[in-house]
């Protein structure tokens, strides 16, 4: 009887070792995948940040280059709710320039993405005669800004660098 008991015991131990080994292999595979997965995500988030930077920074520069035309448009064409036209022009231009630079750097990305989302939304609301193609562009920009607000800037950003250094000090 003791021989049967010890062989059952050895079989159970062997089964436990095999289960642990399989679990360790699966954990290793999952960890490897997670390390790999981070880089495509980081590149996609960087591409979204740089695309939004290019779109909104150029728009802001256009407004700054011809401020008289900008003020005219905010007085006559754009109907920003609640705000006086000149203040709306300053805020819209400042938002386009400031938030887009923060996104490009990946610095305080989530708040900058939320800010740019609202600048974009206000542009759609204040100009009801927007062409359908332009409206699709604004939808794309809103989706990208939302993704950045939800997921952050990714590894290729100043946010990630600051967090790594801050956490290393703790």
**Cα pseudo-dihedral 150, 51, 122, 145, rounded to 10:** 0
**Residue pLDDT, tens place only, 134-168:** 999 999 999 999 999 999 999 999 999 998 888 78
Overall pTM > 0.85: no
Q: From the CB of residue 72, how many other CB atoms can be counted at a distance below 10 Å?
A: 14
Measure the CA–CA gap between 102 and 18, rounded to whole angstroms: 51
Between 36 and 40, the more confident residue is 40
Encoding tokens for residue 128? 């009801």
pLDDT, tens digit, 9 for 90 and up, residues 51-102: 999 999 999 999 999 999 999 999 999 999 999 999 999 999 999 999 999 9
């Amino acid at each position: 009887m003791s021989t049967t008991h010890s062989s059952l015991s050895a079989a159970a131990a062997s089964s436990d070792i095999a289960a642990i080994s399989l679990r360790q292999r699966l954990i290793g595979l999952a960890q490897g995948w997670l390390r790999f997965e981070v880089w495509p995500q980081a590149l996609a988030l960087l591409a979204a940040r740089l695309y939004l930077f290019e779109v909104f920074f150029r728009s802001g520069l256009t407004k700054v280059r011809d401020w008289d035309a900008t003020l005219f448009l905010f007085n006559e064409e754009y109907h920003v709710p609640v705000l006086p036209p000149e203040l709306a022009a300053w805020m819209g231009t400042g938002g386009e320039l400031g938030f887009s630079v923060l996104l490009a750097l990946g610095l305080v990305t989530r708040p900058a993405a939320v800010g740019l989302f609202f600048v974009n939304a206000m542009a759609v609301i204040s100009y009801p005669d927007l062409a359908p193609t332009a409206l699709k562009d604004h939808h794309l920009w809103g989706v990208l800004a939302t993704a950045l607000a939800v997921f952050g800037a990714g590894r290729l950003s100043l946010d990630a660098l600051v967090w790594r250094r801050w956490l290393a000090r703790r």
